[in-house]
Amino acid sequence: MPAPDDTMLPPPAFSVCVYCGSRPGRSTLHAEHARATGRWIGSHGGRLIYGGGRNGLMGMVADATLESGGTVVGVIPEALVTQEVAHRACTELHVVATMHERKRMMAERADVFLALAGGIGTFEELFETWTWRQLGYHDKPIGILNSAGYFDALLAFLRSSVEQQFMNDWQMNLVQVGTEPGELLPALVQAAGLPGADRLQAI
């Protein structure tokens, strides 16, 4: 559902696909970092690609992007429009038939991927995108924003997978991990090799 004047909008400098929770989480830092992520995207002329919900961290990152002058593309399956409360203020809101179609559209329109704190849906999206990259289906940068140590246990488990020789360092190095959105986001966009990315600054 594109905005009526969508064709009049300037093209975004970059597109960041953000995976995150439809809940706010216990630590207030999750909310702070979701808003900071949106502010950075919007203030640098970027576009947010995300799951189209209005609740939790999803809604926070979308609202902050819009408030900071960025554009937002939400992609949500029809079955989740009510459950996740579709964000009708998105610059574009696409209601699709299946989760597979949702993930395909999000991946195709993104330049980089970033996982914030979230639940099993966030984990599934992160791991699928990571798997696609190791198989060569795309070469777009992937990041994990480890707010309040949320991903510490998961990262420790993944390192144990390397020690047990089910993964290797090359696979681990396909994902950048950071604790500050204003540092991780420019690193990801610069890694994508987009024009002008070297001029992006942390805020």
pLDDT in tens, 96-133: 999 999 999 999 999 999 999 999 999 999 999 999 99
Of residues 173 and 2, more confidently modeled: 173
Give the confidence band of 81 by pLDDT, cuts at 50, 70, 90.
confident
This model's pTM is above 0.75: yes
pLDDT of residue 83: 73
Greater confidence (79 vs 69) lies with 69
Q: Render pLDDT for 131-165 as a digit per residue (tens, 0 to 9).
A: 999 999 999 999 999 999 999 999 999 999 999 99
Interval 155-176 mean pLDDT: 97
Type and span of the H or E element at 16: strand 15-19
pLDDT class of 51 with cuts at 50, 70, 90: very high
- Distance, in Å, from the CA atom of 131 to the CA atom of 50, rounded to the nearest integer, reads 19
The CATH classification of domain 6-191, taken from the options 3.40.50.450, 3.30.1370.100, 3.40.50.1980, 3.40.50.620 = 3.40.50.450
**pLDDT at residue 3 greater than cutoff 50:** no
Taking CB atoms within 8 Å and a gap of at least 24, the contacts of 89-96 are: 89/62, 89/63, 90/1, 90/52, 90/62, 91/2, 91/3, 91/6, 91/9, 91/47, 91/66, 92/1, 92/2, 92/3, 92/6, 93/1, 93/52, 94/1, 94/52, 95/1, 95/52
